């Protein structure tokens, strides 16, 4: 079998190296690599054996598995093992889409374009790696590999306070990674797993005593939770977002936040079912706090970008809630939400970046009636906001609807909490649109131009996905539900 997943990794690695070296042609190399990546992902999707009617639409393990020996010391067996199931495929697709969009959006980057595009692609490489890794060390390696390019993206291309933000981002997430690593190592050595491979860890993890599982689960949950981010470990996120350049924010919100949720599902919830069961109440509490905190604080924001950042926290809280339900429906909702939030938050961060450099400010109260002068930008603000508040036919709707349905299914009337908060958030977005897009013009410079072609192209690309998958969500649903063996027990 052709090693398709390794081919993806190699494509991105080679593309990144070439981009660094390409100087002023960096953007062309980056674009070519991104499209090659997208084509490979499309092929991966088409050849995936989990579609309905295609080998019953259900696969027993992982597709496209590859395994090569890496470190073997007897007591320590590490392999390069990769493979995909429906959940990882959805997120790989998200990675490819966002990489293309980011490269196109920052087409006219003038400060060290080679390094910029190279680091963008390196971040995406790390994310793809996390989604395909089926070995603990490999997973951790890609996990950490995301950190460094993002550190430089924020620290070099960011806003005025970028150094502080980059350092805070690095330290927060690195400390969390270390706790996660201790948890993963303890998982291997306490369960007596024969190797660091997922299959071996999966089997051994299920065999552990409930107490051990609970402790391990909590360690892993902390490690993954900081990336989520869960309240109270979320403070790195607004700082990082506000200081990050637009492309950096897109990757940060679109991809990096998904790593935590993916890791939680793959390495904690699936592997340690009893520990997860014990920790469920804690997860619910944290999820509700995160949802409420994210939305209440976002109500107080005047800065468009901070608003989007905090509403990201709110959305990721719903993802955590959906995971915590521990049902197949909840899992489906979580992955759908991750994809939807990836696309929509990317769109919104692009929008706020464009508002910033078109009008020189992101301050919502000082802007008004921008529609006549910049109709395309205003349309994008509108689509992004409507998608974010969950308008039907746009991608967030099926995701949020499934999440609420799953919450009702699992927690009955507790669903009123996320539902009420969603309504408040929606009202706030509508108020923001009303002030910024309509009404008498305010804060509009004389020589204002609408979006340059590459920005509108990148946003339109995302809008296309927002609409297409909003109308045909079963495309994603079929993928996610194709790997039931890794779903929850008893479903």
Partner 1 sequence: MDASTFIGPFVPELLLLGAVLLVFLFDVLGIRRNEYLSTIAVAATSLALLSVLGDLGFAPLAVFATLPSSLIDVAPSGAPLYAFTSLGLIFQAIFLLSALLVCLASASRPSHEKGAPIFYGLLLLATVGMLLVAVATDLIFLLLAIEVTSISTYLLVAYHRRESRSLEAAMKFFIIGALSTVLSFYGASLLFGAYDTTNLYAIGRATGSVGFPVLVLLGYGFLIAGLAFKVTLVPFHAWAVDVYDGAPSDVSAFLAGGTKKIGLFAFFLVFLGPILFIKATGAGTSPFSGGPLDLGPILTLTLGVLAVLTMTVGNLLALLQKEMKRMLAYSSISQAGYMLIGVTIGSAPAITGATMQIFAHVLMKGGAFLVVAGVAALGVGPLIDDWKGLGTRRPLLGVAFALMLLSLAGVPLTIGFVSKFVLFSSAVQAQGFFVWLAVAGLLNSALSVFYYARVLKVLYFEPSPAPVLPAAPRPADVLPAGGLGYGRAVAIGLIAVLIVTIGVYPQPVLGAIQAAAQHFVAVGA
Supply the minimum distance, in Å, between the C-beta of residue 197 and partner 1: 15
Smaller CB separation from partner 1, 130 or 338: 130
DSSP string, 321-354: HHHHT-SHHHHHHHHHHHHHHHHHHHHHHHHHHH
10 Å CB burial of residue 452 (0-12, 13-18, 19+) is middle
Nearer to partner 1, 24 or 412 (CB): 24
> At 175, which helix (H) or strand (E)?
helix 162-191
Near partner 1 in 70-129, by CB under 8 A: 70-76
26-46 vs 113-132: helix axis angle to the nearest 10?
A: 20
* Structure token pair of residue 196: 């660091």
Q: Select the residue interacting with partner 1 from 37, 51, 117, 151 (CB under 8 A).
A: 151
Nearer to partner 1, 58 or 141 (CB): 141
Interacting residue with partner 1 among 190, 401, 408, 438 (CB under 8 A): 190
Nearest 5°: the CA angle 175, 12, 384 is: 75
Rounded to a whole number of angstroms, the minimum distance from the CB of residue 455 to partner 1 is 26
Residues 6+ apart with CB under 8 A from 486: 85, 87, 266, 270
- Any contact of residue 222 with partner 1 (CB under 8 A)? no
Q: Among residues 186, 419, 432, 477, which is the contact residue for partner 1, using CB under 8 A? A: 186
Helices (H), 267-395: 273-299, 304-324, 328-359, 375-388
Binder among 175, 299, 376, 444 for partner 1 (CB under 8 A): 175
Q: Is 17 in the site for partner 1 (CB under 8 A)?
A: no
State the CB neighbour count (10 A cutoff) for residue 71. 11
Q: Looking at beta carbons only, is 229 or 390 nearer to partner 1? A: 229
For the CB of residue 66, give the shortest distance to partner 1 in the complex, in Å: 17
Q: How far is the CB of 145 from partner 1 (least distance, A)?
A: 6
Q: For the chain, first and last CA: distance in Å? A: 32
Under a CB-based contact definition with an 8 Å cutoff, are residues 228 and 260 in contact? yes
Residue 412 in contact with partner 1, rule: CB under 8 A = no
- Which DSSP category does 73 fall into? -
Q: Say whether residue 167 binds partner 1 (CB under 8 A).
A: yes
Secondary structure element (H or E) that encloses residue 77, with its range: strand 77-84
Nearer to partner 1 among residue 174 and residue 356 (C-beta): 174
If binding is defined by CB under 8 A, does position 174 make contact with partner 1? yes
- Considering only residues 45-74, where is the footprint of partner 1 by CB under 8 A? 69-74
- State the residues that interact with partner 1 by CB under 8 A: 69-76, 137, 140-141, 144-145, 148, 151-152, 155-156, 162-163, 166-167, 170-171, 174-175, 178-179, 181-182, 185-186, 188-190
């Amino acid at each position: 079998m052709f090693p398709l997943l390794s081919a993806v990794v190699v494509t991105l690695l080679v593309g990144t190296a070439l981009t660094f070296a390409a100087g002023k042609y960096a953007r062309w190399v980056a674009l070519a690599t991104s499209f090659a990546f997208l084509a490979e992902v499309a092929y991966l999707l088409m050849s995936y054996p989990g579609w309905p009617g295609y080998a019953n639409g259900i696969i027993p393990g992982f597709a496209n598995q590859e395994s090569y020996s890496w470190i073997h010391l007897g007591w320590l067996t590490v392999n390069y093992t990769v493979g995909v199931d429906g959940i990882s495929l959805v997120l790989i697709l998200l990675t490819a889409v966002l990489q293309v969009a980011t490269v196109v959006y920052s087409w006219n980057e003038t400060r060290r374009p080679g390094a910029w595009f190279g680091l963008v692609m390196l971040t995406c490489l790390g994310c793809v790696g996390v989604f395909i890794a089926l070995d603990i060390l490999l997973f951790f390696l890609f996990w950490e590999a995301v950190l460094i390019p993002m550190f430089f993206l924020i620290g070099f291309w960011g806003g005025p306070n970028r150094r502080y933000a980059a350092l805070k981002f690095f330290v927060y997430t690195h400390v969390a990674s270390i706790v996660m690593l201790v948890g993963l190592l303890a998982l291997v050595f306490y369960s007596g797993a024969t190797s660091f491979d997922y299959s071996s860890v999966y089997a051994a993890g299920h065999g552990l005593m409930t107490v051990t599982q609970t402790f391990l689960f909590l360690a892993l949950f902390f490690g993954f939770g900081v990336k989520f981010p869960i309240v109270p470990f979320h403070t790195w996120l607004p700082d990082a977002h506000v200081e990050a350049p637009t492309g950096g924010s897109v990757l940060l919100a679109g991809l990096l936040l998904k790593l935590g949720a993916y890791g939680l599902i793959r390495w904690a919830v699936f592997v340690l079912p009893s520990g997860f069961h014990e920790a469920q109440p804690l997860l619910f509490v944290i999820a509700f706090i995160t949802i409420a905190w994210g939305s209440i604080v976002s109500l107080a924001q005047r800065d468009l970008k901070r608003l989007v950042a905090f509403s990201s926290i709110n959305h990721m809280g719903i993802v955590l809630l959906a995971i915590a339900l521990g049902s197949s429906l909840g899992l489906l909702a979580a992955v759908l939400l991750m994809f939807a939030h990836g696309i929509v938050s990317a769109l919104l961060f692009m929008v706020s970046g464009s508002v910033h450099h078109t009008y020189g400010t992101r301050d919502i109260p000082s802007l008004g009636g921008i529609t006549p002068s910049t109709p395309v930008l205003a349309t994008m603000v509108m689509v992004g906001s409507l998608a974010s508040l969950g308008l039907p036919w746009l991608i967030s709707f099926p995701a949020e609807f499934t999440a609420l349905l799953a919450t009702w299914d699992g927690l009955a009337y507790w669903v009123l909490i996320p539902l009420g908060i969603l309504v408040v958030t929606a009202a706030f977005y509508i108020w923001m649109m009303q002030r910024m897009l309509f009404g008498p013009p305010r804060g509009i410079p004389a020589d204002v131009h609408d979006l340059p072609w590459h920005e509108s192209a990148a946003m339109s690309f995302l809008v296309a996905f927002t609409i297409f998958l909003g109308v045909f969500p079963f495309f994603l649903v079929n993928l996610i539900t194709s790997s039931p063996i890794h779903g929850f027990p008893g479903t």
